[in-house]
Amino acid sequence: MKPSNEASPLPPALLGTSSRRRVFMRRARVRLNIALTAMGPRVRRSLDVTLSAMALAALTPLFIFVAIAIKLQDRGPIVFKQERIGRGGKRFMLFKFRTMVHGADAMKSALAQMNPDAMSGVRFKLTKDPRVTKIGRILRRFSIDEMPQIYNVLRGDMTLVGPRPPVWREVALYSPKALRRLEVTPGLTCLWQIGGRSDLTFEQQVDLDLEYIDKVKAKEEVAIVVKTVPAVLSGRGAY
């Protein structure tokens, strides 16, 4: 049997036309993959800036309405700012609409002692937190309170899809496995936001974040963004 040109020790220039074409296309695909990999961060950042700017412009009327509702609730600040930990341990200020009574952080220690079962891994989460205001419950149910983080995406602190950014007191308790969440830029949504949100245990959230880091490709990230919309509207796991 005559050996195929692919297995021939001859250089491409001495092979037939079809063999040279196959070799050329294979090399072109390799070069294209390398170029796309190198351009990936720039393309991602361009998309983040474009989409976040468009979203902020479109959501401005809603933000004004929410701001008025929060102010009428208790006259406290509209925006809640909290230091979070991003990629590689970088600290940044995260923005949210305030959903709790003013001074809620000072009440956390007492609530943790009264509700020891509220700890899931390193996270403290109450299904019926008495610190949450009436308007705050509505904002949380539909994740409206998280929307100011679109500004964090515009600033470059976050990206559209990625693990949620933790606070320092959580990171201080992370296992080596959980610390891998800090290998990538944090995002607005990820696998566990569309797979159960706060109904999942901390360990399940970590497993889904690592699955995202190790396996999810660009086209699958688009699917995550699309699936986030019905997940948010359903209100499941939001409290």
Tell me the pLDDT band of 103, cut-offs 50, 70 and 90: confident
Residue 36 located in a structural domain: no
DSSP state, 157?
Answer: S
9 is a domain residue: no
Mean pLDDT for the stretch of residues 104-127: 68
In a domain, 184, yes or no: yes
pTM above 0.85, yes or no: no
Instruction: Please state the length of the chain.
Output: 239
On whether the CB atoms of residues 238 and 221 are closer than 8 A, the answer is no
Domain count, the chain: 1
191 belongs to a structural domain: yes
Secondary structure (3-state) at 76: coil
Long-range contacts of 58-61 (CB under 8 A, 24+ apart): 59/147, 59/150
Is residue 6 situated within a structural domain?
Answer: no
Domain span at residue 131 reads 42-234
Let me know if residue 156 belongs to a domain.
yes
pLDDT level of residue 236 (50, 70, 90 thresholds): low
Residue 90 in any domain: the answer is: yes
Determine, yes or no, domain membership for 52. Answer: yes
